[in-house]
Amino acid sequence: MRSTFRPLPAFTPYIVVTVVHLAAIAAGPPELVAATKLLLMPALLVGLVLGLPVLRTSLLLWGGLALVFSWLGDVLLQNPGDIGFLIGMGAFGLAHLAYLTLYLGPLRTRRVPWWGILLGVAWWAGMLAALALWLGSLLVPVAVYGLVLGAAAVCALATRPLVAVGAAVFLVSDTLLALDRFLPGFSVLELDLAIMLTYCLGQGLIIAGVVTVARRRAGFANAGQKVATPAGASAGSI
């Protein structure tokens, strides 16, 4: 057990990079925006590694893969054209599949609620209805990606509230991005800032939820101290 690491200090690099990145979007040079965007997921991966009390777990495996694929998506989506967009979307699709494995595996605490499934289907159908005329040859890959994205957000409802909220905020980010890219005339005040704010917040909440679950199961309180357990009782396993 690594009781010396506390959750908040572990996420400090990610918080700092996020604040700098958002400030750069609002008022900074484009070069700083691009540079800090590529540091976001590595910084969050540092938070995951330092925050987990035990490293050799499925939480690190699937959470780490989700962040690596998200980083690849961030890199690839900076390339112009449909090819870069398709490959970047594919990387994010793999990230959501990794999260989906977490939600239905080690993070699952309950059944996926029926109302969540209905909302997910409604969101997916609504997005396709709104964008279908403008997608052209991208209709099928976008529909498949939307299905994976929506499924991940819905299945996150079977986990802890912090993770579920993070997945929902991540869904908002991708929804704004899709509407901005494909729907003519779509406009929101400070759209780029809104997309990245919800992206960073969603990813951060998901990983913070993963760390919180891991520490509770390992017998650590939020302050990073070992929780006293009765004699003969187990602190729990991941």
pLDDT of res. 55: 82
Tokens found for residue 201: 């917040």
pTM: 0.87
Mean pLDDT of the region 224-234: 42
- pLDDT value, residue 3: 43
Taking the C-alpha atoms of residue 143 and residue 131, their distance in angstroms, rounded to an integer, is: 10
Which comes out higher in pLDDT, residue 6 or 169? 169
Residues 73 and 128: beta-carbon distance below 8 Å: no
Please write the tens of the pLDDT for every residue from 114-169: 999 999 999 999 999 999 999 988 999 999 999 999 999 999 999 999 999 999 99
Dihedral angle of Cα 215, 220, 223, 226, to the nearest 10 degrees: -150
Is residue 222 over pLDDT 50? no
* Confidence bin at 6 (pLDDT 50/70/90): low
Classify residue 226 by its DSSP letter: B
Average pLDDT for the chain: 88
Are residues 174 and 142 in contact, defined by beta-carbon separation less than 8 angstroms? Answer: no
Radius of gyration of the chain (CA): 19
pLDDT at 223: 37
pLDDT digits (tens, 9 = 90+) for 96-119: 999 999 999 999 999 999 999 999
CA distances from 202 to 54, 55, 137 (A): 24, 23, 29
Poorest-confidence range of 37-51, 55-69, 75-89? 75-89
State the number of CA atoms in the 13 A half-sphere of 189 facing the CB.
0
| CB neighbourhood size of 186 (10 A) | 14
How much of the chain, in percent, has pLDDT values that exceed 90?
Answer: 74
| Rounded Cα gap, residues 169 and 68, in angstroms | 19
**Range 88-103 average pLDDT:** 97
Distance CA 137, CA 153 (A): 26
- Distance from the Cα of residue 151 to its chain's centroid: 13
Number of neighbouring beta carbons within 10 Å of residue 5: 16
Q: What are the CA-CA distances from residue 64 to residues 60, 61, 68 (Å)?
A: 5, 5, 6
In this structure, how many other beta carbons lie within 10 angstroms of the beta carbon of residue 127?
A: 21
Give the pLDDT of residue 54: 85
Segment 66-85 shows an average pLDDT of: 89
